[in-house]
């Protein structure tokens, strides 16, 4: 079923590439960023202060995305939709599907190899513009997450099967900053109780309260259509039973027009649920409906 979803979105991406009239005209190409794993506009691992669309102050925008992360022992698929309203408010919904290795399914006598999580996001731009203001664009947001089944999370010692992350993000584009190329950076502070983004529950014996984790992205716009960069996401460590490492990636994004973008990355997630050296390929596509 997941393969059918991916093929459908790929066909949609080809259609969007061929129909440039569908895009909003409010912002410069690439300033909408990408779709983050939890559905917020921004980078792949990190939510940015930018909103998930090209809308200006008198426009709205809507988008859909699919992301597939395939590392050594696990696979994570995120599919979601987002809307941006008048360059001020972003709303998003995402469903994440985390596929466990057969050894873990057998060892825990699980009924399914999948853990699913729903994520509802809200982001509000407070002030600034990532391109035109002297200071960064700043936004605040939240991501409320709910697991469909807490068996694995409870087995590992998590306290809850749902939780809400709160974050503040700052994003700035510096025009012609590096040998004439545009440079973009983002810094995000996230208050969270989540174990592995919430897929292993929230809180644990080592800590059950909120902790502030830092996240960052930096990218170089080689042309209006191509961006290369890297990201880093700090992670908490709440569970005595399993180690949790920070996440990082190196990415390249192609944005042929304001209707669609494609991203490929090499992701290093470290240790995930007892499995070490979780490295692999990150692929994502976002289509902008208007």
Q: What is the pLDDT of residues 52-100, one digit of tens each?
A: 999 988 999 999 999 999 999 999 999 999 999 999 999 999 999 999 9
Q: Which helix (H) or strand (E) holds 192?
A: strand 181-192
**How far is it, in rounded angstroms, from Cα 34 to Cα 11?**
19
What number of other Cβ atoms are within 10 A of residue 31's Cβ? 19
**How far is it, in rounded angstroms, from Cα 47 to Cα 60?**
20
- When pLDDT is cut at 50, 70 and 90, the band that residue 4 belongs to is very low
**How far is it, in rounded angstroms, from Cα 101 to Cα 78?**
18
Residue range 21-37: mean pLDDT, rounded: 73
Output 286 or 20, whichever has higher pLDDT: 286
**How far is it, in rounded angstroms, from Cα 123 to Cα 88?**
8
Overall number of domains in the chain: 1
Whether pLDDT at 139 is above 60 = yes
- When pLDDT is cut at 50, 70 and 90, the band that residue 26 belongs to is low
For the domain that residue 6 is a member of, what is the CATH number? 2.40.160.40
> Containing domain of residue 207, as a range?
2-288
Contacts of 105 (CB under 8 A, 6+ apart): 112, 113
State residue 7's pLDDT score.
45
What is the pTM (predicted TM-score) of this model? 0.89
State residue 1's pLDDT score.
44
Phi, psi of 15 (to 5 degrees): -60, -45
Q: Do residues 171 and 136 lie in contact, with contact meaning Cβ atoms separated by under 8 Å?
A: yes
- The string of DSSP letters for 89-127 reads EEEEEEEEEEEPPHHHHHHTT-S-SEEEEEEEEEEEEEE
């Amino acid at each position: 079923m997941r393969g059918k979803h991916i093929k459908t979105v790929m066909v949609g991406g080809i259609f969007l590439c061929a129909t440039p009239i569908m895009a909003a005209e409010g912002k410069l190409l690439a300033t909408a960023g990408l779709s983050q794993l939890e559905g917020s506009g921004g980078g792949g691992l990190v939510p940015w202060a930018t909103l998930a669309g090209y809308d200006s102050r008198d426009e709205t925008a809507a988008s859909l995305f699919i992301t597939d992360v395939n590392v050594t022992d696990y696979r994570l698929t995120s599919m979601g939709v987002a809307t941006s309203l008048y360059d001020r408010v972003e709303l998003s919904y995402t469903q994440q599907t985390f596929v466990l290795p057969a050894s873990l399914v057998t060892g825990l006598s699980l009924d399914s190899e999948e853990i699913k999580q729903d994520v509802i996001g809200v982001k509000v731009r407070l002030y600034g513009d990532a391109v035109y203001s002297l200071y960064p664009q700043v936004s605040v947001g939240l991501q409320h997450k709910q697991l469909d089944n807490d068996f694995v999370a409870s087995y590992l010692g998590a306290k809850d099967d749902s939780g809400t992350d709160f974050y503040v993000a700052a994003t700035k584009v510096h025009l012609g900053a590096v040998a004439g190329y545009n440079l973009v950076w983002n810094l995000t502070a996230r208050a969270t109780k989540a174990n592995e983004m919430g897929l292993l529950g929230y809180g644990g014996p080592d800590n059950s309260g909120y902790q502030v984790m830092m996240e960052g992205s930096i990218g170089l716009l080689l042309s209006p259509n191509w961006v290369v960069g890297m990201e880093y996401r700090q992670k908490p460590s709440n569970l005595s039973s399993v180690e949790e490492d920070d996440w990082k990636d190196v990415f390249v994004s192609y944005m042929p027009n304001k209707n669609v973008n494609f991203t490929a990355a090499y992701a290093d997630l470290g240790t995930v649920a007892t499995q070490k050296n979780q490295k692999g390929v990150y692929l994502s596509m976002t289509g902008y409906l208007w």
